Chains A and B, each alone.
Chain A
Amino acid sequence: MPDIRLQNVSKAFGGATVLDNIDIDVGDKEFVTLLGPSGCGKTTTLMAIAGFQHPDSGRIICGDRTFFDGGGRRTLPAEQRNLGIVFQSYAIWPHMTVAANIGFPLKLRRTKKPDVDRRVGEMLDLVELADLGAHYPHQLSGGQQQRVALARALVGSPSVLLLDEPFSNLDAKLRERSRKWLRALQQEIGMTTIFVTHDQDEALGMSDRVMVMNRGAIEQSGTPEDIYRRPANRAVAEFVGRCNVLDGRIVGPARCGSVLVEISETSLVVRAQCPPETADAGDVVIALRPELIQLSLGEASHANQCLADLRSSAFLGDHYEYELSLGGVLAQVQHSLPIPGETALVTVPDLAAIIVKP
């Protein structure tokens, strides 16, 4: 299965720039997720790959085939790109049975009827809907419809699978199950996949690589762990998961990829991870995940501890969410036990915080 590359792709609607010179490189068999808030350009990117949107400039190449070349003004029509797409609405044709839906791409390729039947049977087995071939779409549940859409996308042996928020119409439980199932299937058949979502749990839980998009640009590309643990900038830190983004000042020299940072308007001095290109001194911005901050009772005895006032708390089942005031700034903290009283001792473990670009 080929890789897919987008080079300098730009697109504007009216005066508004939707895609701003983006570069994307998806390797063979890789599962890449485009993650971002609505309006960030992720769906436009997917539709440009699919051929339903035409970029203003740039190139889109899949293996040795050029899908789009802004310089040469060449566009391969969508119907010749041989991609598999699962739409947000699934777009299962309501007037055809499940089997007819899945078999349609094959019929277009003039496959002989026995071959179509056999292959549709295989696909139905693959998506665990073997008994439902003769059903009509409206007789299926949301999860089943989604799998029909997937089977239809895969039946023609596409070079790349494109998924446009395929879980957004499912309820929470089903969504989780479908997610695991789809990821397992993708790994089994080794299909190059591009997945679009605004749901970070989906993005982090399924992908080989996540690309965070914002305002038509790619903010960061990396493994789910990279994205979560080492966000490149404030936008990524704030969009992926919950995060305290705080101002600070470097107060000691870098050592082993970390540096001492004093958090502004508090007495806290924490050892924060620092990316290689960080300067040796001056003001910085740090990101600190709420679940990495420890709460306890007692007195501050280290520089990375301070007493904090409890401002609000919310019980969310497996944990509490607290808002604490650390001197002049507010911080979100996640803790699994209730805190008695009005104050708590905050401890920021070494390397819990990371310096990000503002």
Chain B
Amino acid sequence: MVTLSATVPSAVRRRALLPTSVTQGVVWALTVVLVLGPLVPLVYTSFRSQAFYLPGGTWSLQPYRSLFDDPAFWQAVENTLIFAAITTVLAVGLGALFAILINRTNMPGGSWLRWLLIAPIVIPPLGLIVGWTSIYGTAGYLTQFVHRNLGLPAWNLSSLLGMAVLGCVVTIPITFLTCQVALQGSDSALENAALSSGASPATVLRRITAPLLRPAILNSSILVFALALETLGIPLFIGTPANINLYASYLYNGWSNSATPDPPFVSAGAILLLVVVTILLIVRTKLLGSEDRFIVTSSRGSSEAAPLNIGRWRYFWSAVTAGFVLLGSIIPLFGLSIMSSVKELTILVAPWHLWTSSNWHDILNNPSFRNAIVNSLIIATIGSVLTVTFVAFATLVAHRSRFGLRRTLPALLVYPRAIPGIILGVGFFWSYLLVNVPGAFLRNSIWGELLALSIRNITIAYVVLYPALAKVSTEFDQAAMASGAGWWTIGRRITLPIVRPALLTAVALMFITLLSDYDPLVFLQKPGTEVMGVTMLQAWEKGEPGQVAAMAVLQLVIVGLVIVGATRLIRRARRA
């Protein structure tokens, strides 16, 4: 007889500090307040005749009326629509094409190009923009080369088309990844069936593969269009010199360049854009069915297909893809790094004659630059850990609990990224003004910026964590529950440790994003709370592109280090 020893541990359960439903309720309520809270003063202000801090305001539609009466507003709307349309067509067309070529054909170099195409996700956006102006801008290196040395007509980057091409480079990771996921998820037997019924590889790609991508194309089209509507950096850096405003830069200038900022006016503009973007995203959700359908990727073992042979064309397409990466990302980043170390980047004088360390000297010694670097690092470090922790528990409530309102959470976690950053920033600014405790503290310290940036980007943590969590069998939870563990313990001890690689990925991505994102902070920054992105914007406006380039290179170096470090950590976490 086996003795199950007499000293059976007593079945006394650990008493939870708070009932599970209270913990879950707190997580839910915090999410609601932090995501929707900042929008309240925005909506309120847009219907007032005066800023709320001035006396004598009344309910009024005046802000909307003055907006509609401004011809510059309509010009910005028209520009934005054209810019967004071109960006979307380019990004979706090329993204789908590259995804098919890399995932379904025997094009050489696919495994490298795959990573280079999505690299813009981690490249600090301002770095890419400054790099582009240094190479392709009116006074850019290649522009001058083509125009002066070759005497050919050159392109104009400071045009809607030029800006849209850059917009395409920035957004192509989204369309490429969406199509790639769809391709990897679809059964290659569909293509093999067409091959064996006599179709040529080219016909298979055209008649089977591409049509199967239709949902992915629709999905990423709406996403890219919505992102293009709220683009701020490209028009500010590239459009402003040519007097081209997009919607976001119009709002920005309406706030920062007018002698008397008119909060109701800017709020009305913000609300309009918010409504349009929200409608777009609702349409997208309706068209695609549930969010889960495309977030969760199931890799089927049998879908490992032999690539389609596209014959000699494979070299041509390989060159096209490589050319895109080279011209879109690599050369501009190369230009950026040279620009950070020369007095001026020009075709007339070889760069090594203009070598200077003054840009680097400036940004490392000027107190406001130094402040910006330190503050950004603090925000990125603390913000990434806090955000991922918070989102991890919110995701658990959303997908691993019986909490009554859990189904509202996924939408709340995805929404902040849909709110144009500049608008969210205004919302936070006024929220801090309205709610004096702790608003005054937040308004005057980097913690307010940290909060705004983190909330804006919780979506990134969520889209990394949710698919990882969805792959973890619920039997792990049930086994823990049967062992006597409550919800909180299961999350802390079982579920989250299992997705440790995804948590690390999310922290790294958050760090990178928080380091270089700046849209929500353009109105929040004050002397003493400088961050890198906004400081670069101001230096650009002052006409110091060298300093901006140096800052951008610094961002790139930090991002590179974080990626290397994170990759090692994640690999170790996977092995454990």
Q: Which residues of A contact B (CB under 8 A)?
A: 50-52, 77-85, 87-89, 91-96, 104-106, 108-111, 115, 118-119, 122, 126, 136, 149, 152-154, 156-157, 162, 185, 188-189
Distance between Cα atoms of A122 and B4 in the complex (Å): 8
Chain B residues near A (Cβ < 8 Å):
1-2, 4-5, 7-14, 473, 475-476, 478-486, 489, 493-494, 497-498, 500, 576
| Contact call B2/A189, Cβ cutoff below 8 A | yes
Q: Which of A78, A106, A185 contacts B481 (CB 8 A)?
A: A78
| Contact, CB under 8 Å: A50 / B8 | no
B479 lies within 8 A of A91 (CB): yes
A89 B473 Cβ-Cβ under 8 A:
yes
Whether the pair B473, A95 counts as a contact (CB closer than 8 A) is: no
Closest residue of chain B to A109 (Cβ to Cβ) is B9
A91→B475 contact, CB < 8 A: yes
B476 contacts across to A, CB distance below 8 A: 91, 93
Contact yes or no, B576 A95, CB < 8 A: yes
Give chain B residues whose Cβ lies under 8 Å from the Cβ of A93.
476, 479-480, 494, 497-498
Report the bound CA distance from A258 to B166 in whole Å: 90
Contacts of B481 in A (CB 8 A): 51-52, 77-79
B residues near A118, Cβ cutoff 8 Å: 5
Contact A111 B9 (CB under 8 A): yes
Other than the given A79-B485, A104-B493, A118-B5, 9 more pairs (CB < 8 A) read A50-B482, A91-B476, A95-B576, A105-B483, A108-B489, A109-B10, A109-B13, A115-B7, A156-B9
Contacts of B8 in A (CB 8 A): 157
Complex Cα–Cα for A347 and B537 (A): 98
Do A95 and B498 touch across chains, with their CB atoms under 8 A apart?
A: yes
Instruction: Kindly list chain B residues whose C-beta atoms are within 8 Å of the C-beta of A115.
Output: 7, 9
A-chain residues with CB within 8 Å of residue B7 when the two chains form the complex = 115, 119
A50 x B478 contact (CB < 8 A) = yes
* B471 shortest CB reach to chain A, Å: 12
Instruction: Flag if A85 contacts B482 (CB, 8 Å).
Output: yes
In the complex where A104-B480, A119-B5 touch, is A91 in contact with B473 (Cβ < 8 A)? yes
Minimum CB–CB distance for B396 against chain A, Å: 16
Contact A105 B484 (CB under 8 A): yes
Q: Find out whether the CB atom of A156 lies under 8 angstroms from the CB atom of B2.
A: no
- Separation of A80 and B482 alpha carbons in the complex (Å): 8
Closest 9 CB pairs of A and B: A105-B483, A91-B475, A91-B479, A157-B8, A85-B482, A78-B481, A87-B475, A111-B9, A95-B497
The chain B residue sitting closest to A125, CB to CB, is B2
Task: Tell me which residues across on chain A come within 8 A of B11, comparing CB atoms.
Answer: 82, 109, 156-157
Q: How far is the CA of A78 from the CA of B5 in the complex (A)?
A: 25
Tell which of B1, B9, B478, B494 touches A78, judged by Cβ atoms closer than 8 Å: B478
Given contacts A156-B11, A157-B4, contact A91 B478 (CB under 8 A): yes
Min distance, Cβ B30 to any Cβ of chain A, angstroms: 24
Enumerate chain B residues within 8 angstroms of A80, measured Cβ to Cβ: 13, 484
Shortest Cβ gap from A35 to chain B (Å):
21
Subset of 11 A-B contacts with CB under 8 Å: A78-B478, A79-B483, A87-B475, A94-B498, A95-B576, A109-B13, A111-B9, A119-B7, A126-B2, A156-B9, A162-B482
Whether B5 lies near A122 (C-beta < 8 A) is yes
Contact B4 A79, beta carbon cutoff 8 Å = no
- Give the residues in chain B near A95, CB-CB below 8 Å: 497-498, 500, 576
- Let me know if A110 and B14 touch, CB within 8 A: yes
A82 to chain B, nearest CB (A): 6
List chain A residues, Cβ under 8 A from B493: 104
- Nearest CB in chain B to that of A122: its residue: B5
Give A126 to B2 CA distance when docked, in angstroms.
8
**A154:B4 contact, CB within 8 angstroms:** yes
- The answer for the CA separation of A89 and B471 in the assembled complex, in Å, is 14
A85 CA to B479 CA, complexed, in Å: 7
Nearest chain A CB to B3 CB, angstrom units:
8
- Chain A residue numbers with a CB within 8 Å of B10 are 109
